[in-house]
Amino acid sequence: MTQDDKAIGRRVTLEEVARMAGVSRGTGSRVVNGSPKVSPDARRAVEEAIARLGYVPNRAARSLVTRRSDSIGVVFPVPTARFFGDPFFLLFLNGIGTALALRGLQLVLLMPQSGEEEQRLERYVAAGHIDGVVLTALHGDDPLPERLAARGVPVVVNGRPPRGAQASYVDADSRGGAASATAHLLAQGRRKVATISGSLDMPAALDRLLGFRDALEAAGLPIDPSFEEVGDFSQEGAARAMHLLLERQPDLDGVFVASDSMAVMALGVLQSAGRRVPDDVAVVGFDDQPIAGTTRPPLSSVRHPIEAMSREMVRLLLHSIDARDRLPRQVMFPTELVVRESSGGLPVKRS
Amino acid sequence: MTQDDKAIGRRVTLEEVARMAGVSRGTGSRVVNGSPKVSPDARRAVEEAIARLGYVPNRAARSLVTRRSDSIGVVFPVPTARFFGDPFFLLFLNGIGTALALRGLQLVLLMPQSGEEEQRLERYVAAGHIDGVVLTALHGDDPLPERLAARGVPVVVNGRPPRGAQASYVDADSRGGAASATAHLLAQGRRKVATISGSLDMPAALDRLLGFRDALEAAGLPIDPSFEEVGDFSQEGAARAMHLLLERQPDLDGVFVASDSMAVMALGVLQSAGRRVPDDVAVVGFDDQPIAGTTRPPLSSVRHPIEAMSREMVRLLLHSIDARDRLPRQVMFPTELVVRESSGGLPVKRS
DNA sequence: CGTGGCTGTGGGAGCGCTCCCACGCCATCG
DNA sequence: CGATGGCGTGGGAGCGCTCCCACAGCCACG
């Protein structure tokens, strides 16, 4: 009550704060922006005035002179609609949001629905309304990273960008993770191991398929396409893929699934087809999402550190903005296999 | 190429556009903002200059004088983490995003992680950094709607707010939808009908449970708590709930599930428990998400128009902002039952 | 005691835009 | 034919902030 009226009333300006603190606007600004060149006395007075008046700096005025918007765009191309069902995206969004909030930056969500809207987005971003962009869920031929980079917009991509575009990105070692998951199945004595992959125009999906094959090769087993099926990262796609695999290979004894949300469906299909998991068929997923620990049986899965990766993306992006350097940088995060009951392994910890 | 240099180079200002068009800044501004008091000649000249120079208005400068940020916050309290797995949220976000983009407004995503962060958010929003707020996925005791409204921030809530808070909201007729879904099961001759509900501190979940009971009562059947189980809107919760229900009521012959993503799991559990759907057990979901059409068997579900609802939320919000009126308004959208095979009904159209 | 440097401060300029007032021009009317 | 009114226009003011230059005050040194 004592100060709520201020909250409702007109805006408080730095001028008023300064007047109350008995200093100039300039000194007030210095305090707000944490400049070291302020005497302790002045600093204290200003801080007190800020608290008393409930002052919050006016972003627009600041942006106007700094030529920074202090907001970061997260671009999520909607045509990637199948991805929509995957909770992974929300965990990722949350990670980015947290990292940005910590630095007082705004998260602006951009969801272009079409090529046309992507172009509007491009102009919009290039106009300086956004300091940098996080791109995610890119499909094979999306030219967005290059185009934005060409306009001088700092960009970080979530996952290796398609077509080897020259852009900064943060990725998890999908291939290695997939290989260790598959190797784990083979180590359990499984010999007829299949995989359900994501849409292969997404690098992450392709990497997981390649890792799967790596492990087979390393074990001296042949690569047989009839053990591979695309699940598209959607639950319905995963169910379809699992049915197909069972039809083609009724005696398969292991499945590596490229995402947990698909793995959950695969588990269901296997069980309703009368297969016991892990006795008849061992299953390993990817992502290690919360759901993995709660399925029946609990799902073995490959973990990648979403939180740490989002933090790193933000760090890279801010560096690129501050340092004005557009050198592409890549950061790779290791993955780790988390063994649970679905793969028949002893519930050991991380491998 | 011809104008890319401009895109990269310094910003183009209205001043330059006006100079090129041979008019004053004021007239330029009028054209940009669609004022009618401009001669056709001047308008044409300015529009041409805008196109030639690739001019995009500077939001910060505009905001500074209009005292509008032209951005809308979408608040999604993270503690609602279980909701994370539900694709519904993304469809909703997408609907809001589209409606905003159409009006040139920015979507700022706010994901407070704790009560403390909610307070920061409150100050932030009250400081005028955001013109209005869309709230979603509220749990029982969240005071956010009232608190924001008390600070004079235009607010629209997705779904009836908890505790009957005085706020504008847009909701679907969950209760009616749930009732018609349940009635549909009863009409198929099912008599042992159970339900898996969402977290009951969310009004939408509660409404669906009440609708379920409404239908039972209307049919003269008793309300038996052992036919009700909370699934929490999460897939793991749904699986758990379905197991429990089967244990308690092995001969149940129908289930109404409060969301499609839970229904998918329920379907899986039923089938792996050897029940045939719909022969032994009929299932109806809620949301009518894309996945509903692709399960085996296809899932009957209650449809609510997410797209139309998001549009309406944006409309209400903008009205409240423009008209400066804070009168709470409520809009209710009807739901419709979409019958597919999982409920054993003939695949008729909407009921 | 003068000089030099260093620290902290004040306040002008200006970011790009919208708002608004004043004014010129033309058509209309008494 | 002069007064009246509207329409379209020009341009000053000012939104709230940061940046920067100038300067006051102080200490240390020669």
pLDDT in tens, A325-340: 778 899 999 999 999 9
* Residue A166: partners with Cβ closer than 8 Å, 6 or more residues away: A146, A149, A328
Please return the burial class of A331, using the count of CB atoms within 10 Å of its CB with bins 0-12, 13-18 and 19+.
middle
pLDDT at residue number B80? 58
B262 at A interface, C-beta within 8 A: no
B251 phi/psi in degrees, rounded to 5: -100, 25
Q: Are A138 and A202 spatial neighbours (Cβ–Cβ below 8 Å)?
A: yes
Series of mean pLDDT values for 10-residue runs along chain B (351 residues): 42 92 93 90 93 92 93 82 65 89 91 83 86 82 82 89 79 96 96 94 91 97 96 87 96 96 90 89 93 85 93 93 82 95 66 40
**Cα A98 from Cα A85, distance rounded (Å):** 22
- Same domain membership, residue A291 and residue A194: yes
Query: How far off is chain B from A126, nearest CA to CA, in Å?
Result: 7
- Same domain membership, residue B292 and residue B182: yes
B287 phi/psi in degrees, rounded to 5: 120, -30
A87 at B interface, C-beta within 8 A: yes
What's the token pair of residue A77? 């191309």
Q: Quick check: is A349 in a domain?
A: no
- Same domain membership, residue B246 and residue B281: yes
- Same domain membership, residue A166 and residue A182: no
pLDDT at residue number B293? 82
- Same domain membership, residue B286 and residue B182: yes
| Beta-carbon pairs below 8 A across chains A and B | 161
| Stretch A310-335: mean pLDDT | 90
Query: How far off is chain B from A255, nearest CA to CA, in Å?
Result: 18
Chain A, nearest residue to B235 by Cα: A291
pLDDT in tens, A171-184: 999 999 999 999 99
Q: What is the length of chain B?
A: 351
**Cα A202 from Cα A141, distance rounded (Å):** 10
Q: Quick check: is B279 in a domain?
A: yes
Confidence of residue A8 (pLDDT cuts 50, 70, 90): very low
A272 at B interface, C-beta within 8 A: yes
- Same domain membership, residue A199 and residue A126: no
Q: Which residues of A touch B110 (CB under 8 A)?
A: 97, 107
Q: Quick check: is A66 in a domain?
A: no
Q: Which residues of B touch A99 (CB under 8 A)?
A: none
> How many structural domains compose chain A?
3
Sequence letter at residue A150:
A
pLDDT in tens, A287-302: 998 878 878 889 999 9
Q: Quick check: is B241 in a domain?
A: yes
**Among B101, B111, B127, beta carbon nearest to A97:** B111
- On the question of a cis peptide bond just before residue B297, with omega within 30 degrees of 0, the verdict is yes
**Cα B240 from Cα A294, distance rounded (Å):** 9
- Same domain membership, residue B298 and residue B186: yes
**In the predicted model, is pLDDT for residue A319 greater than 80?**
yes
What's the domain range around A109?
A: 71-171+306-333
pLDDT at residue number A83? 54
Pairing of the two strands B71-75 and A228-230: unpaired
The contacts found for B277-282 with CB under 8 angstroms, 24 or more apart, are: B277/B342, B278/B188, B278/B341, B278/B342, B278/B343, B278/B344, B279/B344, B280/B253, B281/B252, B281/B253, B281/B254, B281/B255, B282/B185, B282/B188, B282/B190, B282/B253, B282/B254, B282/B255, B282/B342, B282/B343, B282/B344
Three-state DSSP class for residue B252: coil
B193 phi/psi in degrees, rounded to 5: -105, 130
pLDDT in tens, B231-282: 988 888 898 999 999 999 999 999 999 999 899 889 988 988 889 989 999 9
pLDDT at residue number A268? 84
Sequence letter at residue A279:
D
Q: Quick check: is A291 in a domain?
A: yes
Distances (CA, A) of A3 to A48, A53, A301, A345, B148: 14, 8, 52, 61, 15
**In the predicted model, is pLDDT for residue A63 greater than 70?**
yes
Residue with CA nearest to D12's C1' atom:
B26
| Cβ atoms within 10 Å of A211's Cβ, excluding its own | 27
Shortest CA–C1' contact from A16: which nucleotide?
D16
- Same domain membership, residue B52 and residue B38: yes
**A151-155, A311-315, B299-303: least confident range:** A151-155
B267 at A interface, C-beta within 8 A: yes
Q: Across-strand partners of A71?
A: A106
CATH number for the domain spanning A18: value is 1.10.260.40
What's the token pair of residue A105? 């930056």
Q: Quick check: is B351 in a domain?
A: no
CA of residue B69 to C1' of nucleotide C21, angstroms: 27
- Same domain membership, residue B220 and residue B100: no
**Cα B333 from Cα A141, distance rounded (Å):** 39
Please return the burial class of A160, using the count of CB atoms within 10 Å of its CB with bins 0-12, 13-18 and 19+.
buried
What's the token pair of residue A349? 């910890």
* Residue B184: partners with Cβ closer than 8 Å, 6 or more residues away: B284, B300, B337, B339, B343, B345, B351
- Same domain membership, residue B315 and residue B292: no
> For tokens 């990766």, what's the residue?
A309
Query: CA B231, A293, A291, A225 torsion: positive or negative?
Result: negative
| Stretch A111-131: mean pLDDT | 85
**Cα A172 from Cα A205, distance rounded (Å):** 12
Query: How far off is chain A from B87, nearest CA to CA, in Å?
Result: 5
Q: B239 and A56 in contact by Cβ < 8 A?
A: no
Q: Chain-centre distance of CA B101, in angstroms? A: 16
Sheet with A155-158, side-by-side order of all strands: A330-333, A168-172, A155-158, A132-135, A71-75, A106-110, B106-110, B71-75, B132-135, B155-158, B168-172, B330-333
Task: Indicate the angle between helix axes A40-53 and A14-21, nearest 10 degrees.
Answer: 120
**Cα A125 from Cα B277, distance rounded (Å):** 50
Q: Across-strand partners of B301?
A: B285, B338
Q: Are B230 and B237 spatial neighbours (Cβ–Cβ below 8 Å)?
A: yes
Q: A90 and B87 in contact by Cβ < 8 A?
A: no
Confidence of residue A1 (pLDDT cuts 50, 70, 90): very low
Chain A, nearest residue to B12 by Cα: A127
- Same domain membership, residue B220 and residue B136: no
B24 at A interface, C-beta within 8 A: no
| Stretch A7-25: mean pLDDT | 83
What's the token pair of residue A322? 């501050």
A123 at B interface, C-beta within 8 A: yes
CA of residue A54 to C1' of nucleotide D26, angstroms: 35
Q: Quick check: is B64 in a domain?
A: no
**Cα A136 from Cα A75, distance rounded (Å):** 6
Q: Across-strand partners of A256?
A: A195, A284
Q: Quick check: is A65 in a domain?
A: no
CATH number for the domain spanning B127: value is 3.40.50.2300
> For tokens 């969801």, what's the residue?
A111
CA of residue A31 to C1' of nucleotide C13, angstroms: 21
Determine what percent of chain A is predicted with pLDDT higher than 90. Answer: 58
Pairing of the two strands B300-303 and B336-338: antiparallel
Pairing of the two strands A300-303 and A336-338: antiparallel
Three-state DSSP class for residue A297: coil
B297 at A interface, C-beta within 8 A: no
Indicate which of A17, A235, A247, A342 best probes the interface with B, i.e. most B CBs within 10 Å of its own CB: A235
Distances (CA, A) of B4 to A123, B8, B47, B59, B71: 11, 6, 19, 21, 28
| Stretch A63-86: mean pLDDT | 79
pLDDT at residue number B274? 86
Chain B, nearest residue to A127 by Cα: B56
What's the token pair of residue B21? 């068009």
Task: Indicate the angle between helix axes A235-248 and A260-272, nearest 10 degrees.
Answer: 50
Longest alpha-carbon distance in chain B: 82
Query: CA A208, A210, A216, A218 torsion: positive or negative?
Result: negative
- Same domain membership, residue A75 and residue A106: yes
